[in-house]
Structure 1
Amino acid sequence: MADDGSAQSQTVWPLPKFYFQVKWDDTELAFQEVSGLDIESEPIEYRAGNSKVFSKVKMPGMLKSSNITMKKGVFATDNAIFDWFNEIKMNTIKRKALTISLLDEGGNPTMVWKVRNAFPVKITGTDLKAEGNEVAVESIEIAHEGFTIENA
């Protein structure tokens, strides 16, 4: 009898990336794209003067995160990202915890990125074209102080 795939383990196939959700506070927004979920360690190069090896030693340094960019369609009464951006007053901003979840086919989170102390640094409105027929898309760029990954 042929294998219909029903007995396969859930770990055989990688997760699709098109079903996800983004939450901050009690707000959930529908974004079209999320990018910038990367973190790196800046290497420190060092060579002691009495080292017999004529090369530098590399060791891990401080962690550096990229800004997260999120894109979404423009809706007539949806101003949540502009409201958050407008809270910036004289170098003060309400930092928020973001939760970005990759969902399975049942809508349950499988991977969750918990972003710490996020705040908006740039909003890009849609471009307008009289001859186009695309959906209006705006984007928000968010700075943060790192994230953790949790697997459900």
Structure 2
Amino acid sequence: MTANNGTADSQTWPMPKFRFEVEFGDGFGHVAFQEVSGLDVEASVIDYRNSNSREFAPIKMPGLKKYGNVTLKGGVFVNDNTFWDLHTAINMGTVKRRTVVIKLLDENGSIAMQWTLMNAWPTRITSTDLKSDGNEVAVDTMELAHEGLTVYTGG
């Protein structure tokens, strides 16, 4: 790829997405996952028209932010109950909320981009399907609800 002046620039290549870490903290540390998805935020749209506006159409204004649930998929390992330990901490009306940090790493292992989920907690766990004729790896899925997403780009 070339920069605007026609010379090759190593900073213009997009980051590969296969090297990442997920950090739960509170004794869990780094947890290995196969896939992370749902890192999205949306601002709702408010239609507003002032009573003395000469336009016959409302203006669009940003409203409340909505954060989608984040889905984590990870392999099932012998004697590893991390998914279930996080989920069993939920009691009626109470839950241990955590700061979850997802880090995209460059080829040197340095943080290239980081997403921080505030007050995250597991809302759903789906265990692997079982098939007697299958040859796939067993994968559990966890869905995290959270109350905020901040993005940091290392650099």
TM score, norm. by length of structure 2: 0.90
* Structure-1 separation of matches of 2:148 and 2:128: 28
Partner of 2:149: 147
Share of identical aligned residues, percent? 49
- Offset of residue 10 of structure 1: 3.6
- Offset of residue 11 of structure 1: 1.6
Unpaired segments of 5 or more residues in structure 1?
1-6
Runs of at least 4 residues off by over 6 Å? none
Partner of 1:18: 18
**Counterpart AA for 1:88:** I
* Structure-2 separation of matches of 1:8 and 1:55: 49
RMSD: 1.3
* Structure-1 separation of matches of 2:12 and 2:51: 51
- Offset of residue 77 of structure 1: 1.1
Partner of 1:4: none
* Structure-2 separation of matches of 1:122 and 1:108: 31
> Aligned pair 1:69/2:74, yes or no?
no
- Offset of residue 52 of structure 1: 1.2
Partner of 1:57: 59
Q: Deviations over 1:64-113 (max 9, x none)?
A: 00000000010011111110100011111110000100001111111011
Q: Secondary structure at the match of 1:122?
A: strand
Alignment of structure 1 residues 4-43 onto 2, 5 Å = 8-25=8-25, 26=27, 27-43=29-45
- Offset of residue 8 of structure 1: 4.9
Q: Secondary structure at the match of 1:11?
A: helix
Unpaired segments of 5 or more residues in structure 2?
1-6
User: Aligned match of 1:131 in 130, 133, 144?
Assistant: 133
- Offset of residue 39 of structure 1: 0.3
Moved more, 43-52 or 73-82: 43-52
* Structure-2 separation of matches of 1:12 and 1:51: 46
Partner of 2:111: 109
* Structure-2 separation of matches of 1:54 and 1:147: 37
User: Aligned match of 1:93 in 79, 95, 99?
Assistant: 95
* Structure-1 separation of matches of 2:96 and 2:120: 9
* Structure-1 separation of matches of 2:23 and 2:32: 9
TM score, norm. by length of structure 1: 0.92
* Structure-1 separation of matches of 2:51 and 2:107: 58
User: Aligned match of 1:46 in 45, 48, 55?
Assistant: 48
Kindly tell me the number of residue pairs found equivalent between the two proteins. 146
- Offset of residue 49 of structure 1: 2.8
Q: Secondary structure at the match of 2:57?
A: coil
